[in-house]
């Protein structure tokens, strides 16, 4: 199994979000990482509604109250833990999850991947 380091876990506030460009199965993708408490969650940076990137500024993926991931285009709200849309034009749809882990204090992409 391949592990690709993205950032130090301690660099992320609680909560916090950050974007990365990575290679997933040989394809370059933009992904987002969200820290909440002791856990990290990762998704492809593409809204299931219209396919837009989710961030409104670099590394800004969370709603103002920081309780959800928010799409910048039409303001859909997604649960941080499951990536499910809970409000907005695509309720019930889900973000595409990315497999992450924390290894030796590093947030890592796990699987057949690489960073760019």
- Residues at the contact surface with ligand FES, assessed by CB under 6 A: 47, 49-50, 52, 71, 73-74, 76, 88-90
Secondary structure element (H or E) that encloses residue 2, with its range: none
39 vs 50, beta carbon nearer ligand FES: 50
**Smallest gap, in angstroms, from Cβ of residue 59 to ligand FES?**
18
**Smallest gap, in angstroms, from Cβ of residue 85 to ligand FES?**
8
CB of 56 closer than 8 Å to CB of 44: no
19 vs 89, beta carbon nearer ligand FES: 89
Verify cis geometry, omega within 30 degrees of 0, for the bond prior to 100: no
**Smallest gap, in angstroms, from Cβ of residue 54 to ligand FES?**
7
The backbone region for 50, taken as left when phi is positive above 0, alpha when psi lies in -120 to 50, beta otherwise, is alpha
20 vs 55, beta carbon nearer ligand FES: 55
**Smallest gap, in angstroms, from Cβ of residue 71 to ligand FES?**
3
8 vs 67, beta carbon nearer ligand FES: 67
**Helix, strand, coil percent values for the chain (each to nearest 5):** 5, 50, 45
The backbone region for 65, taken as left when phi is positive above 0, alpha when psi lies in -120 to 50, beta otherwise, is alpha
């Amino acid at each position: 199994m391949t592990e690709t380091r993205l950032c130090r876990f301690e660099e992320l506030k609680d909560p916090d979000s950050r974007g990365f460009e990575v290679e997933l199965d040989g394809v370059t993708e933009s992904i987002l990482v969200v820290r909440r408490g002791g856990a990290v969650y990762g998704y492809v940076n593409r809204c299931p509604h219209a396919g837009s990137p989710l961030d409104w500024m670099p590394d800004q993926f969370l709603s103002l109250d920081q309780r959800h991931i928010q799409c910048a285009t039409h303001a859909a709200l997604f649960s941080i833990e499951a990536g499910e849309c809970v409000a907005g034009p695509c309720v019930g749809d889900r973000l595409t999850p990315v497999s992450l882990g924390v290894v030796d204090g590093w947030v890592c992409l796990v699987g057949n991947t690489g960073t760019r």
